[in-house]
Chain A
Amino acid sequence: MKQKRVAKLSRFSEVQTAWLFMAPGLILLALFTFWPIIYSVPLAFTNYSVIGETKFVGFENFKRAFSDVNFIASVKNSLFYMIIVPFIQIISILMAILVNRKIAGIKFFRAAFYIPVVTSMVAVSIIWGWLMSSNGVLNYILLSIGIINEKISWLSDKDTALWAVMFITLWKGLGYYMMIYLAGLQAVPTDCIEAAKIDGASNFQVIRKITIPLLKPYVFFCTLISLMSAIRVFDEVFVLTSGGPGNATLTSSLYIYEQGFEVFEFGYSSALGLIISFIIMFFSIFIFLFNKKGGVNPY
């Protein structure tokens, strides 16, 4: 009986078993994650669209991209969007420090800070779209406490629209990064802090000299993640402004989508995707170099 089982077991070698296990997952990944990347390269060199014959056009799409005002504006907006990255780190570290203590009701506060993370971007966009309209609650509050003198239509004024969308992205994401930093804070050894306090260090000194340095690998991880998502921003601009007014909030992801699904220029859309991928690659290499000894394995 036992002999038989062992015989059955050895039907596949370890290598074969490994590939059998991974096959379904890898097939799906290949189909929906790798295939789009691979296929978009040849597509980028064609004029593939819903109408007309597909032809090889060489670097035509790329030439067009660099003289396309909308695309250049969208890249600029996407790069500008990265300004929120340091703000995300500062505010969420602050939040994490605030909730990293055992006091009454702390669970409530942690949950409250995390609720925007779990709700859909559609819901969040609808709420903030109302709050930020010219007759909205935000203007009412800011007027009442005297921060602004006249109503601002935050989302439809080309000077404020991008800032407004960036604020919503920031607001929705803070809780997520707070949780990561909270995990980091709780990994800080308490005896380290106690020793410093016995030596007469103030709370502020403890934070500056012990907590922040120990958080470094987490800052690296969060910076990378938030940078990637800032460049990939899509949902909020799609629902809230669809890139407007003019192209004030047109991000590169949104422009790629529009060229693909509204104008149906698949070839051109693929070329734009490739260009953006190279830009993202550049920034991620930059961050990795900047923080060579990252320390933490993010996954």
Chain B
Amino acid sequence: MKNRKLLKTIQNKVLIYIPLMLFALLMMGPFLWLLSVSLMPGKNIFAFPPAIFPTFIDFKNYVDVWQYMDFLKYIWNTVIITFFGVVFSILLCSLTAYPLAIFKFKGKNIIFVALIATMIIPAAAGLVVNYLTINKLGLINTFTGVVLPGLVTVFNVFLFRQAFMGIPSDIRDSGKMDGASELRIWWQLMMPMIKPAIAVVALFEFMASWNSFLWPIIILNTDKYPLASALSTLNGQFSYNFGWIAAGTVISVLPIIIVFLLTQKYFMEGISGAIKG
């Protein structure tokens, strides 16, 4: 009797872990293989049967591509773009969302509908006009020009609005009683209370800025490219040198995967919270 029960739990475990592992293999497999390719210098990945596991481990590809590409420069570019993108979108989006959530004023609903309407624009349609605008502002080939168009997004404004709406109105009232200015109430009382929302926006913006490649290609010169853009040119130039491209790709995705793994807890909770709200 006891044995049968044990058998049953083992059977249940197997039934859950097998599909979990299959999915994990499907999702992680390509990255593991990339890692494997990056550690095999001189291998042709298109030899058939293809090389899947490294027979020896060598970091030559990394050394070579690092020296050729000057990766430090691209990483620095990416860090600057990402830093300003994250910080300013948190500040500006939350400033925009705060009155929309808390205040009562005319025109609130009109703003709201107008914001939602922006979701219907095809990905590429805004690019041409935005290029012309950035050009007019004299921001071609500047990091400001890269960051500016994406700073305030409707999605982030809504996310912050939702978070602010969850704060009891007593808090703002008590701040007012103490004579704090609205700006101080926003910064010292409200912002600390919506930390989960800030974390979500920070992580999403981090992801978006770190991975952006098309807009930077349009408005920057090659020496100012962020990682993803540099990677796409590397891929174009050295399409035959798989080891290099693999190593370059690993270098470009590693930081974001590390940040993701370190902040995983907030990430997962934050996304759930943001959507539930």
B199 interface residue (CB < 8 Å to A):
no
* A115-B28 CB under 8 A given contacts A99-B20, A109-B20, A257-B124: yes
B118 interface residue (CB < 8 Å to A):
yes
B257:A182 contact, CB within 8 angstroms: no
Interface size on B, residues (CB 8 A): 99
A145 interface residue (CB < 8 Å to B):
no
A15:B186 contact, CB within 8 angstroms: no
**In the complex, how many angstroms separate the beta carbon of A145 from the nearest chain B beta carbon?**
13
* A111-B276 CB under 8 A given contacts A183-B271, A253-B124: no
* A119-B257 CB under 8 A given contacts A24-B92, A98-B19, A280-B122: yes
| Complex Cα spacing A160 to B24, Å | 25
**In the complex, how many angstroms separate the beta carbon of A233 from the nearest chain B beta carbon?**
8
A40:B129 contact, CB within 8 angstroms: yes
Interface size on A, residues (CB 8 A): 101
- Give the residues in chain A near B92, CB-CB below 8 Å: 24-25, 28
B30:A120 contact, CB within 8 angstroms: no
A57 interface residue (CB < 8 Å to B):
no
B84 interface residue (CB < 8 Å to A):
no
B125 interface residue (CB < 8 Å to A):
yes
Interface Cβ pair total, 8 Å cutoff: 275
* A273-B96 CB under 8 A given contacts A135-B50, A261-B128: no
| Complex Cα spacing A171 to B129, Å | 32
A220 interface residue (CB < 8 Å to B):
no
**In the complex, how many angstroms separate the beta carbon of A129 from the nearest chain B beta carbon?**
8
The digit string for A91-111, where 1 denotes a CB below 8 A from any CB of B, is 000010011010100011111
- Give the residues in chain A near B273, CB-CB below 8 Å: 183
A137:B106 contact, CB within 8 angstroms: no
Q: Is the interface of B mostly helix, strand, loop or mixed?
A: helix
Closest to B203 in A: A118
| Complex Cα spacing A216 to B97, Å | 28
| Set A6, A14, A137, A266: member contacting B33, Cβ < 8 A | A137
| Set A36, A112, A221, A272: member contacting B130, Cβ < 8 A | A36
| Complex Cα spacing A265 to B271, Å | 40
B23:A95 contact, CB within 8 angstroms: yes
- Give the residues in chain B near A234, CB-CB below 8 Å: 123-124, 214
* A231-B122 CB under 8 A given contacts A113-B27, A183-B276: yes
| Complex Cα spacing A228 to B120, Å | 8
A21:B48 contact, CB within 8 angstroms: no
A39:B154 contact, CB within 8 angstroms: no
**In the complex, how many angstroms separate the beta carbon of A34 from the nearest chain B beta carbon?**
7
B20:A98 contact, CB within 8 angstroms: yes
* A270-B152 CB under 8 A given contacts A21-B95, A127-B30: no
B228:A256 contact, CB within 8 angstroms: no
**In the complex, how many angstroms separate the beta carbon of A81 from the nearest chain B beta carbon?**
12
Closest to B264 in A: A111
A270:B128 contact, CB within 8 angstroms: yes
B99:A115 contact, CB within 8 angstroms: no
The digit string for A6-31, where 1 denotes a CB below 8 A from any CB of B, is 10110010110111011011101101
- CB contacts under 8 Å to B, within A239-264, are 239, 252-254, 256-257, 260-261
Listed A/B pairs (7) with beta-carbon separation below 8 Å: A122-B232, A136-B46, A179-B272, A186-B272, A234-B124, A252-B122, A297-B162
User: Given contacts A140-B50, A280-B122, could you give 16 more A-B pairs where the C-beta distance is less than 8 Å?
Assistant: A17-B182, A21-B98, A25-B157, A109-B23, A113-B27, A121-B213, A122-B235, A133-B46, A174-B27, A183-B273, A187-B276, A239-B232, A254-B124, A261-B127, A273-B125, A298-B275
